[in-house]
A = this chain, B = another copy of it.
């Protein structure tokens, strides 16, 4: 992978495309062998291409296809492949169509309608600049603008048609089981010894830890339907079964919204230590408003008492981080928000505020619904931002459980 952009080396922005591409390629049982980031400099790009093609036959290129003077990827590619940049009716047509989509006219002085000789222009479903494609018997190159959504859309649209077929891996499927509640190192040792080996008979197995969860994936090739059934039987007859919360790759937030919508349930939060993060995560998804109604972020104890309805007596006797306060937060917020389910969180995100009884990482959680209210204590690890993420993650897992109850 070749990532082009001075701004990435100056710390102005961070490269998101390599990580996304790594995930995308796993569907094809492929891994990136190396990723090289260079500045918008023709000599640097040519040196990088020399290094990359010395070790690889396929290069995917991100960035430098925009309309500004520092976008010189096409010139550098032409130099490297010893050809010229020339007008292309095809590229021009794609750019014109993309501008029309936004009700705008193709500006003058742009370079969109130009391509290195022997390159093909690729449709860009979400931006202006066409992608580029080059193929020779020993080298392939796909180039897309560096803007993450444009890069993703172009690779997603064109990779399966242009590159994947040459890899002869069509009858392939990645089966993924999303688990939570059991640490990665325990799954294949204490919990399910021998499972990894049995799964491996059907294809390469991978184990990918996320925040408070682990994805177990198996890449199937050939006889996919039959193998998928066998693999599912193995998983669901193993001791791992109760820890699987989903198959596939849908995010936890999206699963929550889908399943709550199906059951016409509304949800809300009473957040203290997560400081609004639970609400932020659900509202990152379009259409969340039909399920998520609100959250009361009660950081100060006075807000817990006055706005959520926690009893002053409970705060005084047991402290904010306690089972009874979590319970009263969940019940109070459920009544005040008028939702079917609330999850309440009160804990210590640190680095200050911990004690021997309640160290940093302590979390009391309560879930209130028509089934009543239940509580749970967690003792997690990490710095402040990690802990906020982990607290919100366990809250969302509990919320999903309650929706399915």
Contact = CB atoms under 8 A, between A and B. Distances in A.
Given A12-B22, A22-B8, A22-B9, A279 B275 contact: yes
Contacts of A9: 18, 22, 31-35
A31 B300 CA distance: 44
A40 to B, nearest CB: 12
A227 to B, nearest CB: 22
8 contacts: A10-B22, A275-B279, A276-B297, A292-B300, A294-B297, A296-B297, A303-B337, A307-B336
Contacts of A300: 266, 289, 292-294
Nearest to A283: B275
B280 A280 contact: yes
Number of copies: 2
Interface in A250-275: 266, 268-269, 271, 274-275
Given A275-B280, A385-B284, A37 B18 contact: yes
Contacts of A388: 280, 283-284
In which size bucket is the chain A interface?
35 or more
Given A18-B9, A296-B294, A384-B284, A48 B34 contact: yes
**A-side interface mostly:** mixed
Interface string A81-105: 0000000000000000000000000
Contact of A11 (B19, B271, B279, B280): B19
Contact of A351 (B15, B31, B286, B307): B286
B299 A297 contact: no
The 8 closest A-B pairs by CB, nearest first: A275-B283, A11-B22, A276-B276, A276-B279, A11-B23, A293-B300, A14-B19, A294-B303
A295 B276 CA distance: 8
A162 interface: no
A289 B304 CA distance: 13
A198 interface: no
